[in-house]
Amino acid sequence: MQNQMELTFSALPQNEAFARVAIAAFAVQLNPTLPEMADIKTAVSEAVTNAIVHGYRGREDGLVRMSAEYGDRRLLTVVIRDEGCGIADVEKAMQPFYSTGDGAERSGMGFCVMQTFMDAVEVDSAVDRGTTVTMRKYITGEVGLHRERMLDEIG
């Protein structure tokens, strides 16, 4: 079975919590463990916050798009997209502690968190066009289901 969803919301800080609740409600269908659920919510929060803070730089008429899907292999894919300013050098932006935000209050750890909490993170960006962050995570859920995935993987 394939399941997917898509949401579009205003680039407002109060929608960061909305995005977390929405992805949690979708991902819960995969019966993730509590730590897995926390990882997904945190990674989504990072990507959505970046879209609002950096992509649109506080421009509240911007729209953030979030879509997610999973299939039988229990691989959850979440895509967060903005049509904001884009990133000139993605590799540099993804380095730990790199931040263009005001130094005092941004740690430059957002991408690091996404990469640690998810199994794969891809960033596609073009200056003045926007940024797309694609994140994937295997949801092991209970131990038995983990074994099922391993067997599936072996073929």
Partner 1 sequence: MLGAKSLGNAVTVVIAGELDHFAAPQIRRRLDELLEDQTVTHLVLDLENLTFMDSSGIGMLLGRLRALQSRGGSLSVKHMQPPVEKLFRLSGLDRVIGVEDDIRGGRL
CA distance 83 to 85: 7
Tell me if residue 50 is catalytic.
yes
List 15, 16, 36, 50, catalytic entry = 50
Measured at the CA of 114, the angle between CA 108 and CA 118, to 5 degrees, comes to 160
> DSSP states of 30-77 as a string?
G---HHHHHHHHHHHHHHHHHIIIIISTT-TT-EEEEEEEE-TT-EEE
Tell me if residue 36 is catalytic.
no
**73, 149 contact by CB (below 8 A):** yes
Instruction: Decide which of ligand ATP, Mg ion, partner 1, none touches 93; Cβ closer than 5 to 8 Å per partner kind.
Output: ligand ATP
Single out the segment in contact with Mg ion by CB under 5 A; choices: 20-28, 60-68, 110-118, 140-148: 110-118
Specify the residue, 48 or 139, whose C-beta has the smaller distance to ligand ATP.
48
Q: Could you tell me which residues come within 8 angstroms of residue 74 by beta carbon, excluding any fewer than 6 positions away?
A: 30, 138, 139, 140, 141, 145, 149
List 20, 31, 65, 106, catalytic entry = 106
**67, 114 contact by CB (below 8 A):** no
Tell me if residue 46 is catalytic.
yes
CB 111 to ligand ATP: min, Å: 4
Answer for which of 15, 50, 131, 132 binds Mg ion (CB under 5 A) is: 50
Binding site for ligand ATP (CB under 6 A): 46, 50-51, 54-55, 82, 84-87, 93, 98-101, 106-111, 131
Binding site for partner 1 (CB under 8 A): 13-14, 16-17, 20, 34-35, 38, 41-42, 45-46, 49, 52-53, 101, 104-107, 109-110, 112-113, 116
Residue whose C-alpha is closest to residue 113's, from 81, 86, 135, 83: 135
| Catalytic residue list | 46, 50, 106
Which parts of this chain interact with Mg ion (CB under 5 A)? Answer: 50, 110
